[in-house]
Structure formats: C-alpha cells, structure tokens
Structure 1
Amino acid sequence: MLFQLPEINREATKKKIEAILDNYRVVLLQVPDDLLPKVTAGFNLVPPSNTNAFHSSTEDTAIKRTEMEEKRNDFLAKVQKAVNRLPANERQIIIMRYMSQDHRFDYEVYNEIGMSSRTYFRIKSRAFYNLAFALKEEVYVKGSAS
C-alpha cells in the first residue's frame, strides 16, 4: 500500500507561509512596551477579595512578559529550524527575501543572486511548499484525502 498525499491547496498554503514569514520579521523586531509594570497607585471601587492570595501587578507583568518572550523565542526557533532544513538555493531565497533586516523585493533578490526571474519564482514556489511541510502549516483541498 502506497502513501497517498492529499491534494494541497497551493495558493492558500502560499498565503499562509507568506503570513508566517512576514510575522517572523515583525516578531523579530518586537519589543512589548504595553506590558510595563504600573508604578503609580491605582484605585478601584470594587473591594479586594479575601482569598489571602498576594496579587501584584508587577509580578503579573513579569510573568506575562516571560511567557510572551518564551512564545516569541519558540516561534522564531521553529521558523529558523524549518528554513535551515531547506535545500541551499531555497534557503538562500527565503533568507534574503523574508528574513533579512531590510525589506527586499523579489527582483532585487534574483538580480543579486544572478538568477532569471522564471527560475527564481519556480524555486521560491517550491521553497514555500517545502517550508509548509517543515512547519506543518500546509493547507489541503477539502475532500481530497483518500
């Protein structure tokens, strides 16, 4: 019995991977300013509960910040590992186009690599397909799983 892979929705998969790679660049530069601890007194009309549990906004902020940083680092590591599993030419395209500090357009990347436009887009498409499998983010066509 042979393994039959269900049909992949290429366009939806491409959009999903592009969104992940765009998110990667944003997350890489992200500094959470909104989770700073409060340094001024706050007043509330609701009386405190009598649970004898200590509640500190500074501790809550520190915990949220640590959890958020851990999630961010996990996401970055997951994407980096998946990209590192790609073949060299696919990896080069993805890194130059989506993972560098400066925003580049496709024509800048394929001119810098010295590749024709057609070859570049063919390899880029294959890179998205492989990256979707590496990240387990592929989108299947409904009803194609046999």
Structure 2
Amino acid sequence: MSATQLAFLPPIDEKEVRNTIIRELKRYKALKVQLENWKEREAAGITDLFPRLRDPLAFNELKVSQMDRALKQSLDDDELKIIQTKYLSSKKIKDIEIYMEMGLKKDKYYQVKRRAIYNLATALGII
C-alpha cells in the first residue's frame, strides 16, 4: 500500500520565489535611497530637484517599511547576515566567500539561505 500525501497548499516554484525575492531586495536598496533623498529634499524645501516621471512615493514608502519589518522580524541572525551580505551590500560577493567568513559548511549555508528567502517571501505575502 502506498501512502499519498495530501496537498493542502499548491506547490511552490522555488526558482520563481527566489528570483522574486532577489528582485525585490535589489529594488529595496534603490527605494530606500529614494525615500532618504526625498526626505532630505523635503527638509531643505527643494522637492522638485529632479523631474518626476512617476508619483508612487506613498507606495514606495509602504514597500520599504514592510521590507524593513520583514528583514528585522522574520529572520534570525544568520539568515539576516546572509541576505544583507549577498543582496543588500554594494559589492558583489560570492556565496563561498560568505559561508567561509561565517564558518558554515556549504550545505548548511544553502539551507539557511533557502530558509531566509522563504521566510522573507512568507513575511511579505509573496507565498
């Protein structure tokens, strides 16, 4: 007799989740800078320093706020370090450099990285 697993949730495409989170993390860096620049211009009273082609400031502010919360509250220390080092730093760094620096074995590193991506995706409502 073979056991059939009941699927309560639809299957998740790991590659799509990973690519979506990576894309959002890279955008997050730019959006965070955009909001900091906007606040600086607003404080100086010069809000029209650059032409605006779009006007999604409130949308971007909410997105940055939710990304900040997801990063701070849904990840443990190792997960956060991996995400910050790999996707939120200004220099491109290879996975091997990160897991060597953190003193993790390769398999453990990828397990923690995968878990971090899934935790972010869950916290942001992507999955």
TM-score by length of 2: 0.69
Distance (whole Å) between structure 2 residues aligned to residue 103 and residue 75 of structure 1: 24
Distance (whole Å) between structure 2 residues aligned to residue 14 and residue 78 of structure 1: 18
The more displaced of 12-21 and 105-114 is 105-114
Deviation (angstroms), 1:104:
3.0
**Per chain length, whose mean CA-contact separation is higher, i.e. which structure has more relative contact order (CA < 8 Å, sep 6+)?**
1
Deviation (angstroms), 1:14:
0.9
Instruction: Structure 2 unaligned segments of length 5 or more: list them.
Output: 1-5, 39-49
RMSD: 2.7
Q: 1:12 aligns with which of 9, 16, 19?
A: 16
Structure ID, larger Rg:
1
Distance (whole Å) between structure 2 residues aligned to residue 104 and residue 24 of structure 1: 18
Instruction: Structure 1 unaligned segments of length 5 or more: list them.
Output: 37-60, 139-146
2:31 alignment counterpart: 27
Runs of 4+ in structure 1 deviating by more than 4 angstroms, as ranges, are: none
Query: Quick one: percent identity of the two aligned structures?
Result: 29
TM-score by length of 1: 0.61
Are residues 73 and 101 of structure 1, via their aligned partners in 2, closer, same or farther at CA, if it must alter by over 3 Å?
farther
Superposed counterparts of 1:1-146, under 5 Å: 4-30=8-34, 33-35=50-52, 64=55, 68=57, 70-84=58-72, 85-138=74-127
Deviation (angstroms), 1:107:
2.5
Deviation (angstroms), 1:7:
1.6
Distance (whole Å) between structure 2 residues aligned to residue 127 and residue 6 of structure 1: 20
Instruction: Judging by fraction of residues, say which structure has more helix.
Output: 2
Deviation (angstroms), 1:86:
1.6
